[in-house]
Amino acid sequence: MTGSALVLGGGGVTGIAWEIGLLAGLLDAGVDLTTADLIVGTSAGSVVGTVVATGADIEELYRNQLEPSGSEIPARMATTTLLRWGFAAVTSRSPERFRARVGALARRTRTVPEEERRQVIASRLPVHDWPDRRLVLTAVDAVTGELAPFDRHSGVPLVDAVSASCAVPGVWPPVTVNGRQYIDGGVRSTANVDLASECDRIVVLAPLPRGGGPMPGVSTQVARLGDSARVAVVTPNQAARAAFGRNVLDPARRPPSARAGRAQAVDVAMAVHSVWSDH
């Protein structure tokens, strides 16, 4: 299939802000990524992908990132959680087994109540119904470790799909959907670029592009596409990384991250346009 895909990767609340800033800055430069035929969102990218697909005004979204965080809950991934992720990565026989073990970690970690977290996700989304546009949001089954790509045909409410995609194991609770529990789609890959393989023009915004062990990085997934598509990958520059700070889950870092994304758009606009143009 020919067409365009916008792939939005995970990266916490700072990743949301940076991606929105990039989209706004690219619009300033005459590059409109919101016209994508397919939008793939993972974790933070599921939030941005949803607001884009449901027709939100990018400039208004950008202004919102500069305001106080409101209902957002400050969080941080504990060192012990990171160590448990790492141990599961090096001792699991397969990617699915790794993801299932991380899912088990998520299910036994005490966090905020699931409904409280769902309300936070709902507050990020101006529209709570699936759009007609092609939107795929990634999550992982917390028991089997299998990828769960949700779309409007999956029978899953939109807010639940976004909540599942954003359910960072060990930080936020797994999300229960139709009797099953799901965790963050970033446990499979920080961007899940392969879900856009049907398209011949792909732009990837990846706040956290690196992989490791059973989690392929963005560059690995792009390489696997071969010559079937023109691909532009945008990752945070030095200024953006500094804006993120040490904790991508800190709502206080949203304003500088959004500004950094908008500023970076100037430098990447030409490369993105060369891929996005269908000429």
Q: Which residues form the catalytic set?
A: 43, 184
Interacting residues of 79 by C-beta distance below 8 A, sequence separation 6+: none
CA angle, residues 248, 114, 14, in degrees to nearest 5: 15
Is residue 51 within 8 Å of 125, Cβ to Cβ?
yes
Q: Which of 14, 101, 8, 28 is nearest to 267 (CA)?
A: 28
Q: Give per-residue burial for 209-232: e unless 16+ CB within 10 Å, then b.
A: bebeebbbbbbebbeebeeebbbb
Q: If you search the block for the tokens 């807010």, which residue do you land on?
A: 159
Q: Which of 237, 147, 160 is nearest to 194 (CA)?
A: 147
Rounded to 5 degrees, φ, ψ at 6 are -110, 115
Class of residue 2 by CB neighbours under 10 A (exposed 0-12, middle 13-18, buried 19+): exposed
Q: What proportions of the chain, in percent to the nearest 5, are helix, strand and coil?
A: 45, 15, 40
- Which regions of 84-161 does DSSP assign to beta strands (E)? 134-141, 147-150
Euclidean distance between the first and the last CA atom of the chain, given in angstroms as a whole number: 16
What is the amino acid identity at position 144?
T
Q: Which of 271, 211, 269 is nearest to 10 (CA)?
A: 211
